[in-house]
Amino acid sequence: MLNGLLHAHSGLRWVVLALLIAATFMALLKWRSNATYTDGSRKLNLFTMISMHVQLLLGLALFFMSDKVDFSQMKEAMYRFFSVEHSVMMLLAIALVTIGHSKSKKATEDARKFRTIFIFYGLALLLVLVAIPWPFRGWGNGWF
């Protein structure tokens, strides 16, 4: 079961990353061009947020089941990364996306909606990129 969760969490990261990149850069382009906030824009932002929340649920299950989370071994970089660094940065990223989505829904002007999404999703994207256990770190499960 743990292996299945790990593969699902690792595989879904690409969906989350693709949606987060698309939503962030789409918001930037549409904000700069004074485009109209369409239902497609709203859905992209919503699906990005939903995918991150699904990823959170898988991550929480792994947090409580994985042997890589061990608070008694904080001197070891891998344990510290998965126990604290990865978890905290990803929670902050999910909070930023959730807040950004909520604030964009409340905004009345299209440019403000796009700007809000760009700022909050962009900050979340930076956190996600730093917090992913990329294979070159030697702690992940590879690229997939």
Domain boundaries of the chain, sorted by first residue: 2-137
- Measured in whole angstroms, the distance separating CA 59 from the mean position of its chain's CA atoms is 11
What is the spatial distance between Cα 107 and Cα 28, in angstroms, rounded to a whole number?
16
SS3 of 9, please?
Answer: helix
| 120, two tokens | 């909050």
- Measured in whole angstroms, the distance separating CA 131 from the mean position of its chain's CA atoms is 9
At residue 2 the predicted structure's pLDDT band, cuts being 50, 70 and 90, is confident
Q: What is the pLDDT of residues 77-125, one digit of tens each?
A: 889 999 999 999 999 999 999 999 999 999 999 999 999 999 999 999 9
Q: Residue 81 has what DSSP assignment?
A: I
Mean pLDDT lowest among 12-16, 27-31, 92-96, 135-139: 135-139
Asked whether residue 144 carries a pLDDT value surpassing 60, the answer given is no
What is the spatial distance between Cα 104 and Cα 109, in angstroms, rounded to a whole number?
9
At residue 14 the predicted structure's pLDDT band, cuts being 50, 70 and 90, is very high
Q: What is the pLDDT of residues 40-86, one digit of tens each?
A: 999 999 999 999 999 999 999 999 999 899 999 999 988 999 999 99
| pLDDT on residue 42 | 97
